[in-house]
Amino acid sequence: MTFDANDKQTAIFVDEENHHFHLKTPSTSYVMGVVNGGWLAHLYWGKAVRRWNESAPVRYADRGFSGNTDKNDRTFSLDTAPLEYPSYGSTDFRDPAFHFRWEDGASVSEFRYKSYEVKQGRRKLEGLPHVYTEQEVEAETLTIQLYDELKQVSLYLDYVVFPDYDVLTRSVRVVNEGDEAFTVEKLTSANVDFRSADWELISLYGAHNRERDVERGPVRHGSTVLESRRGASSHQLNPFFALVSPDATETNGDVYGFSFVYSGSWRGAVEVDQFSTSRVQLGLGTLDFSWEVTPGNSFQTPEVVMVYSSAGLGPMSRTYHRLYNERLIRGRWKSEERPILINNWEATYFDFDEQKLLAIADEAAEAGIELFVLDDGWFGRRNDDTTSLGDWYPDTKKLPNGLKGAAEKITSKGLRFGLWMEPEMVSADSELYRSHPDWCLHVPGRRRSESRNQLVLDYGNPDVRSYIVERLTKVLEESPVSYVKWDMNRNMTEASSRLLPAHRQKETAHRYMLGVYEVMETITSRFPEILFESCAGGGGRFDPGMLYYMPQAWTSDNTDAVSRTRIHYGTSLVYPPSAMGSHVSAVPNHQVGRTTPLQTRGHMAMDMNLGYELDPTTFTAEEKAEVSRQTARYKELRPLMQFGELYRLESPYDGESYAVLRTNADKSEAVFLYMHRLADANAPFIRVRLDGLDPDADYRVVDLDQTFGGDELMYTGLDIPMITSDFQSFLWKLEKVT
604 phi, psi to nearest 5 deg: -70, -35
Contact of 539 with 568, CB cutoff 8 Å: no
Statement: residue 714 has pLDDT above 60 = yes
Which residues lie closer than 8 Å to 79 by C-beta, 6 or more apart?
63, 66, 67, 91, 92, 93, 94
Contact of 491 with 451, CB cutoff 8 Å: yes
Categorize the per-residue pLDDT at 57 as very low, low, confident or very high, splitting at 50, 70 and 90: confident
Categorize the per-residue pLDDT at 37 as very low, low, confident or very high, splitting at 50, 70 and 90: confident
pLDDT of residue 72: 86
Q: What percent of the chain has pLDDT over 70?
A: 99
Categorize the per-residue pLDDT at 185 as very low, low, confident or very high, splitting at 50, 70 and 90: very high
Contact of 624 with 612, CB cutoff 8 Å: no
Burial of 594-614, coded b for 16+ CB within 10 Å and e otherwise, reads eebbbbbbbbbbbbbbbbbbb
Q: How many other CB atoms are found less than 10 A from the CB of residue 592? A: 13
Beta strand extents in 375-518 (DSSP E only): 416-421, 425-427, 454-456, 483-486
From the list 302, 370, 309, the residue with the least C-alpha distance to 337 is: 370
Contact of 182 with 293, CB cutoff 8 Å: yes
Contact of 153 with 74, CB cutoff 8 Å: no
Q: What percent of the chain has pLDDT over 90?
A: 96
Give the chain's domains with CATH numbers: 12-327 (2.70.98.60), 332-643 (3.20.20.70), 650-737 (2.60.40.1180)
What is the mean predicted confidence (pLDDT) over 118-129?
Answer: 97
What is the mean predicted confidence (pLDDT) over 121-142?
Answer: 97
Report the mean per-residue pLDDT for the chain.
Answer: 96
Q: Which residue type, as a one-letter code, is found at position 622?
A: E
Task: State pLDDT tens for residues 341-383.
Answer: 999 999 999 999 999 999 999 999 999 999 999 999 999 999 9
Alpha-carbon gap, residue 331 to 344, rounded angstroms? 27
Beta strand extents in 179-248 (DSSP E only): 182-194, 200-207, 210-218, 222-228, 237-244
Alpha-carbon gap, residue 399 to 466, rounded angstroms? 27
List 634's β-bridge partners, or say none: none
CA dist list (Å): 733 to 207, 316, 611, 664:
34, 25, 21, 12
> Whole-prediction pTM value?
0.97
Contact of 575 with 239, CB cutoff 8 Å: no
* Positions marked active-site: 487, 557
CA dist list (Å): 290 to 84, 260, 507:
23, 19, 6
pLDDT of residue 9: 55
pLDDT of residue 3: 39
Torsion angle defined by CA atoms of residues 548, 550, 551 and 557, in that order, rounded to the nearest 10 degrees? -120
Contact of 481 with 524, CB cutoff 8 Å: no
What is the mean predicted confidence (pLDDT) over 38-50?
Answer: 96
Strands of 12-15's sheet, edge to edge?
A: 12-15, 20-24, 28-35, 39-47
What is the mean predicted confidence (pLDDT) over 591-603?
Answer: 98
Statement: residue 553 has pLDDT above 50 = yes
List 203's β-bridge partners, or say none: 215, 241
pLDDT of residue 69: 87
